[in-house]
């Protein structure tokens, strides 16, 4: 059987997989970025053991991508956000983050207590 900290880490991974794949490809613009971030946070916080989700849109990156295209929006990808998810499983807390790492939106475990 997995330990409670191992289960907390597993749950954090499930939350990230759900968040990323649920919202990847969503049309986003500077005007809709805040509401998309809020929708992402609220949707994932509904899941079991999820204590909190913070989504920060990387506005400069978003605006640059839109400027390169022909529309006034683009599709959401991980390069446009920094995300933190905190999971509490039976008192074991796992914090996971998605941040850009050498041009790639990398999800990683930040801490387990």
Annotated binding-site residue? 68: no
The DSSP secondary structure of the chain, one letter per residue, reads ---HHHHHHHHHHHHHHHHHHHHTT-EE-TTTHHHHHHHHHHHHHTSTTEEEEEEEE-HHHHHHHHHHSSSS-EE--GGGEEEEEEEEETTEEEEEEEEEETTEEEEEEEEE-
Check the annotation: does 40 bind a ligand.
Answer: no
**Annotated binding residues:** 11, 107
Indicate the annotated binding residues for substrate.
11, 107
């Amino acid at each position: 059987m997995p330990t409670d900290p191992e289960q907390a880490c597993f749950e954090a991974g499930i939350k990230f997989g759900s968040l990323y794949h649920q919202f990847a490809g969503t049309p986003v613009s500077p005007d809709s970025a805040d509401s998309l971030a809020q929708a992402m946070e609220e949707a994932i916080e509904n899941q079991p053991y999820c204590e909190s989700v913070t989504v920060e849109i990387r506005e400069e990156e978003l605006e640059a991508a839109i400027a390169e295209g022909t529309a006034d929006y683009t599709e959401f990808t991980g390069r446009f956000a920094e995300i933190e998810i905190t999971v509490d499983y039976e008192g074991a807390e796992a914090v996971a983050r998605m941040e850009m790492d050498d041009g790639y939106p990398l999800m990683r475990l930040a801490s387990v207590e």
